[in-house]
Amino acid sequence: MWRQPTCQLPAGGVYSVNGGYMQKKRVYVESSVISYLTARPARVLVKLAKQQQTWDWWEQRNHWELFISPVVIREIRRGDAEAARKRLSVVDGLSSVPETSEAQQLAEYLIAVEAVPEKLFDDAMHLAIAAIHDMDYLLMWNQTHLFNADRIEMLYKAIRKAGRKPAVLVRPDGLLETHHDS
């Protein structure tokens, strides 16, 4: 009788459909994703659709290696105490990458070259932390000021000019499509 062979995989790895070893993609999860994940069901259809896409992604989260940072923790602690507790419980157990001086410098640079508006320093920090820690994706919602072709091109160029590889900006639905296409 034939039995499925077993083997040990290095941490963070999976076997692809064709049997080859693949490293899981690294995903930096920005606070808006956590907020959509834990919010009460929205009454506005567009928001409800985003929540559903976020819940669908969350159910598939084990396909990626997930990370947050102290910036994410600070952001999800804001607001209603009960809602904040809910958000914090969701990220409990996710790996956290540090907020380094190098990330701070890159965020300041992104603002200085106007790749990110000055009032959006935390967003610049998310971009910088994802780049400094070699994330494949930066998962986010509610970033219309970043999700347009000209802005994304400007961001990616600025991060590359600073000597880093930018994380791909993606929404939960886009990350699910990326996973299903591979």
Range of the domain at 99: 24-181
pLDDT attached to residue 156: 95
pLDDT in tens, 73-124: 999 999 999 999 999 999 999 999 999 999 999 999 999 999 999 999 999 9
Cα–Cα distance list, 92 to 36, 47, 104, 110 (Å): 16, 25, 24, 30
The answer to the question of residue 148 being in a domain is yes
Q: How far apart are CA 78 and CA 88, in angstroms?
A: 11
For residue range 110-142, what is the model confidence (pLDDT) as tens digits? Answer: 999 999 999 999 999 999 999 999 999 999 996
Is 107 among the domain residues? yes
State how far the Cα of 2 lies from the Cα of 84, in Å rounded to an integer: 51
Kindly indicate the confidence band of residue 16, based on its pLDDT and cuts at 50, 70 and 90: very low
Residue at 153 is within a domain: yes
Looking at the domain assignment, is residue 7 inside a domain?
no
Strands (DSSP E) found in 54-175: 64-68, 95-96, 137-139, 168-170
Would you say residue 5 lies in a domain?
Answer: no
Residue 123 has a pLDDT of 94
Q: Span 41-64, mean pLDDT? A: 92
What pLDDT does 157 receive?
96
Residue 98 lies in a domain: yes
d(CA 38, CA 21): 34
Report pLDDT digits (tens) over 25-51: 999 999 999 999 999 988 999 889 999
Average pLDDT, the chain: 87
Residue type present at position 33: V
The CATH number of the domain where 159 resides is what?
3.40.50.1010
- pLDDT of 69: 98
Tally of structural domains, the chain:
1
The answer as to whether 10 is a domain residue is no
The model's confidence at residue 181, banded by pLDDT at 50, 70 and 90, is low
Going by the DSSP 8-state scheme, the letter that residue 19 receives in this structure is: S
CB proximity list for 172: less than 8 A, separation 6 or greater? 33, 36, 50, 53, 54, 56, 57, 58, 139, 141
